[in-house]
A and B are shown apart, each in its own frame.
Chain A
Amino acid sequence: MRYNWDWSIYFQRASDGSGTWLHYLFVGLAWTLATALAAWVIALVVGSIVGTLRTTPSKWIVRLGNAYVEIFRNIPLLVQMFLWFFVLPELLPKGLGDAVKQIPPPWGSYLPAVLSLGIYTSVRVAEQVRAGIQSLPRGQRMAGTALGLTLPQNYRFVLLPMAFRIILPPLTSEFLNIIKNSSVALTIGLLELTGRARAMQEFSFKVFEAFAAATVIYLVTNMIVVVLMRALERRVRVPGFIGTTAKAPQAGH
């Protein structure tokens, strides 16, 4: 394959006149992070609540949680984003729908992107949280109950602190996923990193340089996330608890 690499392209003026192409891409990264982080907040909060509710003794609450999970887990993210962006405004009362459609860019794309990505990921978080709680010995819940803790206290002080520690590694994966999945937002017009790499390719005809830069930026960003999450895992490590470090519990002393 013959291709004339032109690394200087990054320092040439971008077509939108805002600065260099490199600057243009980094603004894209800022949008990627703004989308992913806002969605991650929704995913964590909603996912933790739904996941917790699905382990309560109430049958109806569990069913409601299950329904939520099955609905948002079984529809592709792309379709969900289209639903939030194209379909929801049509379903709202006319005045409200029109107001939604008139939200100026980029917010008109940003908001549905954050909502769809947040809710899509919340279902995955809910599954992790449920699995985390259910992986705890049954006696833990009993011990909390026997001490007179109420159900919410039992979750708050006994079950969730351990469940979250156990699911930190899979939660890291979800965090990485949400950063990568935010690229789907380009389909509803959000110029995040992938969207901007594509625009750069279209205007400068430098397809390899554009996507090489996007690749490296995604890779470095996610590796930083991995390092930070590892640090968090070490910080909340429970002394002597099996499976958190190489140090075996010091039994028998």
Chain B
Amino acid sequence: MNSSMIEFRAVSKWYGSFQVLKRCSTRVDKGQVVVVCGPSGSGKSTLIKCVNGLEPFQEGEIIVNAESVGAKGTNLSRLRSKIGMVFQHFELFPHMSVTENLNLAQVKVLGRSREEATTKSMALLKRVGLEAHAKKYPGELSGGQQQRVAIARGLAMDPIAMLFDEPTSALDPEMINEVLDVMVELAQEGMTMMVVTHEMGFARKVAHRVVFMDNGEIVEDAATEEFFGSPRSDRAQLFLSKILQH
């Protein structure tokens, strides 16, 4: 029914002799939200960074929008520009104003004019509720505001999918919701999203599927209701019982 946007086919990755990803296979369909969770060190961040080639992998294949990420002929720069990415520590460029952060890749990668880029940036800043901060620098914003700018920066490229690598893990608790709200809205608009997170409330609310990883393996890959209702594996059950207790 759905066509696949991101597909992992038996992806394996090693750091030296240590295997961080073990034959991982899963997919994110167009318009779907897939949440990846699991204990720290389980390889979730590594997995998501393989999607746009930030981390190389040695075996298997990742197909993004019908292009193979690891293949020799693939123009990685162009592919990356179509996939938005949000990092745990925001990674805004501190020496640029908020608007310049959003404009940079629009102008340098997509070749938009500065005016065109600024119009787009302002519209997106308005959407994440930060148009009043357009001229400020990242260091003058709170963590939650910075992360919303980072999301807007990704959206400015008109991406076909968005990757989120623990977007709320570095935030103070009172700022988590302002970021999650933006993400929920994005999901409801039909954006294809792959989200590494521990926010199970978010997963329940918008995820179509939940992927559970442990020790570099995809242990469970199930529809959201199924995952929370009756996880099949012991490891997922244990993880859920720990994370949902409080």
Contact = CB atoms under 8 A, between A and B. Distances in A.
Contacts of B85: 143, 146-147
Interface residues of A, number: 28
Residue among A137, A146, A253 facing the most chain B CB atoms (10 A cut-off): A146
Contact of A238 (B80, B89, B137, B141): B137
Interface residues of B, number: 33
A240 B96 CA distance: 11
Contacts of A250: 140
B104 A251 contact: no
Given A238-B139, A240-B137, A147 B89 contact: no
B95 A146 contact: no
Nearest to B144: A252
Contacts of B70: none
Contact of A148 (B80, B87, B88, B138): B80
A147 B139 contact: no
A145 B82 CA distance: 12
A253 B78 contact: no
19 contacts: A139-B87, A139-B88, A140-B91, A143-B85, A143-B87, A143-B91, A146-B80, A146-B83, A146-B85, A147-B104, A147-B105, A147-B109, A147-B153, A148-B157, A149-B109, A158-B104, A242-B139, A249-B139, A251-B141
The 9 A-B pairs with the shortest beta carbon distances in the complex, nearest first, are A240-B139, A148-B81, A143-B91, A147-B105, A240-B140, A146-B85, A148-B109, A139-B91, A239-B137
Contacts of A3: none
B12 interface: no
B95 A238 contact: yes
Nearest to A253: B142
Contacts of B138: 240
B216 interface: no
A157 B139 contact: no
Contacts of A158: 93, 104
B131 to A, nearest CB: 15
Interface string B80-114: 11110101110111110000000011001100000
Interface of A: 137, 139-140, 142-150, 153, 157-158, 161-162, 165, 238-242, 249-253
B17 interface: no
Main SS at interface, chain B: loop
A143 B81 CA distance: 11
Contacts of B136: 239-240
A157 B104 contact: yes
Contacts of A153: 108-109
Contacts of B93: 140, 143-144, 157-158, 162
Interface string B180-201: 0000000000000000000000
A200 B152 CA distance: 67
A148 B77 contact: yes
B78 A148 contact: yes
B54 interface: yes
Given A147-B157, A149-B77, A165-B95, A142 B140 contact: no
B143 interface: yes
Contacts of A139: 87-89, 91
Given A137-B91, A149-B105, A162-B94, A239 B140 contact: yes
A151 to B, nearest CB: 9
A240 B140 CA distance: 5
Nearest to B75: A148
Contacts of A242: 139
Nearest to B110: A148
A142 B94 contact: no
A148 B105 contact: yes
B52 interface: yes
